[in-house]
Structure 1
Amino acid sequence: MAVAVATFLVIGNGSGPAGPRALTSDEANRLAITRFRNYQAGGRAVRITVPGTAGQLVITGSVDYRTKLGYGVVHGTGRDTSSDGLIEWTAETVLVHPMANAPADAPASPPGADWHSRPLQTSGSSLDSSLAIALSLGGDRPDNVELLQQNGAGWVGQDQLGGHQVDVMTGPSAGAKPGTAGTVRYWIGSDGTMYRVQASVASEPQPVVIDFDTQKYVPVQPVPGVTATR
């Protein structure tokens, strides 16, 4: 699924020399395998911070990159609790389970009732764009190194994230057309592991931020009767 994104130009509390510049061969190879690393892992724990004019939504949960299924708990930050509850999503469907007092972590097994289903919107929703981006961050094969370099992927700087020394690189979103490098920023470790992704969505001035390994990974179980879309 193509998701509209735009360049976001601030790294944050980065360190080391500032870019941008062209990727070295090692950096290009790490960028090419970073989504494949997620697929190899099977799934990753995520924290998705979704921008919004009424305040942020924070989704804490897991994404299964083999079945393309995400699951977690939603909490509003700087806004009311009307959107709080559980959420599970595929590339085509979003299910929400409203909760007046949502727990800090989603239960390992999703409840069997009181879910509301709707199609995942392809535009106009920062939440749905963020969910789609999170699912797109795993692939069953490495990306093409030459295409990444031809499309202008670059090195921006270095950073410390969760105790890891990382390189910050720009690259196209999954399925993006040629010439769209710089639309997403990736925080990548020395072995190609993805630790953060930041992308701007067309519907909001602030970026979506997806952090990995912020909590323990819990295998994703589908809501009864829901089939994931590969």
Structure 2
Amino acid sequence: MGALAAAACAGLLLTGGGDPGPRPLSADEAERMALARFRTYRVSPSEITLRAASGDGSAVVRAVVDHRRHRAVGWYEVTGAGRPDGGLLAWDQSGLAVADGAPTPPAGGALRAAGRLKPTAWTRRAFGAAPLDTALRLALSLGADRPDNAQLLAQSGPLRLRDERVDGRRYDVFSGPRPRPNASAYSSARSPLSYWVDDEGGLRRVRADLGKGRTITMDLGGVRVRGVSSLPGAPWGEG
């Protein structure tokens, strides 16, 4: 969980009681929050849909994320200022790569399309400051190979905000742990991140408020993509 708090956006959370209004997490909620990234990791590779909005346009990414290898492949579509754009997108912790392709709804279709391309078909670049780049980096941080420390997590200031339903199912909405500007103290400001978590610790949605009308929303599939043992290696110069 320290990795999330240290990133541009930080934290993770879990289900709460029925009392209204923001409040600190209970011990039980902190325990369940500490499992959320681990549960996301266990169902990997899984689907995710990212939406990044700013004042001059928006981007949508439908992808399959492999949290074990910290890689993802999917479709992207950009609308707004300038010419609409879209195609194949792959990313890891060091940057992203794009290639030509006609986006189709199933994220799994991007894996098949990417698997047919050679490494030379991809154009790579480092991450920048755009909301989409922030979303891609944050998506890779949502899985961890072990539970977080519940006690330390609770001390970092996450809050239970409210109840909400998504696709007919109830979720608790939590703010993330507060940003930590140095090694000894947490900021008093509320985290820009909010998480939708079910009563078993399953992470369904993450939202980040980047300010100035820029937002990120990520919807997680929550189940392993069948028939996928690994992602295509061509975006990383493999094969």
TM bracket, shorter-chain basis: 0.7 to 0.9
Q: CA deviation at 1:20?
A: 0.3
1:162-196 CA-to-partner distances (Å, cap 9, x unmatched) read 23211111123899865256331110011100000
CA distance in 2, matches of 1:162, 1:214: 13
1:155 pairs, out of 160, 182, 192, with 160
The corresponding residue for 2:206 is 197
Aligned to 2:218: 210
Normalising by the residue count of structure 1, what TM-score does the alignment of the two structures yield? Answer: 0.81
Q: Does the CA contact (< 8 Å) of 2:43 and 2:224 recur in 1? A: no
| Number of the residue aligned with 1:108 | 111
Q: Check 1:215–1:38 CA distance in 2 against 1; reply closer, same or farther (3 A cut).
A: closer
For 1:1-230, what aligned pairs fall within 5 Å after superposition?
Answer: 2-5=6-9, 18-78=20-80, 82-99=84-101, 101-105=102-106, 106-109=109-112, 110=114, 111-113=116-118, 114-121=121-128, 124-172=129-177, 179=186, 182-201=191-210, 205-213=213-221, 217=225, 219=228, 221-224=231-234, 226=236
Retained in 2: the 8 A contact 1:46–1:215?
A: no
Change (3 A) 1:199 1:60: same
Q: Does the 8 Å CA contact 2:72/2:231 hold for their aligned counterparts?
A: no
Larger helix proportion, structure 1 or 2? 2
> What is the CA deviation profile of residues 51-102 of structure 1, one whole-angstrom value per residue up to 9, with x for unaligned ones?
1232110001211111111111012345665431110000002010134x43
Comparing 169-178 and 50-59, the one that deviates more: 169-178
Letter in 2 for 1:224: A
C-alpha displacement at 1:28, in angstroms?
A: 1.1
Counterpart in the other structure of 1:12? none
Distance 2:123 2:145 in 1: 30
Q: Which runs of 5+ in 2 are unaligned?
A: 11-17
Provide structure 1 residue ranges, at least 5 long, that are not aligned to the other structure.
Answer: 7-15
C-alpha offsets along residues 89-126 of structure 1, whole Å, 9 cap, x if unaligned? 00002010134x433334332142321111223xx221
Task: Summarize deviations over 1:201-220 as a string: whole Å, max 9, x none.
Answer: 36x53220000129983635
Structure 2 residue identity aligned to 1:141: R
Contact 1:137 1:174 in 2 (8 A): no
Q: What secondary structure sits across from 1:84 in the alignment?
A: strand
TM-score relative to the length of structure 2? 0.78
The count of corresponding residues between Structure 1 and Structure 2 is: 216
Answer with 152-161 or 216-225: which moved more. Answer: 216-225
Contact 2:63 2:72 in 1 (8 A): yes
Q: Which runs of 4+ in 1 moved over 3 A?
A: 77-82, 173-178, 214-220
Give the percent of matched residue pairs that are identical in Structure 1 and Structure 2: 28
Equivalent-residue separation in structure 2 for 1:191 and 1:37 (angstroms): 9
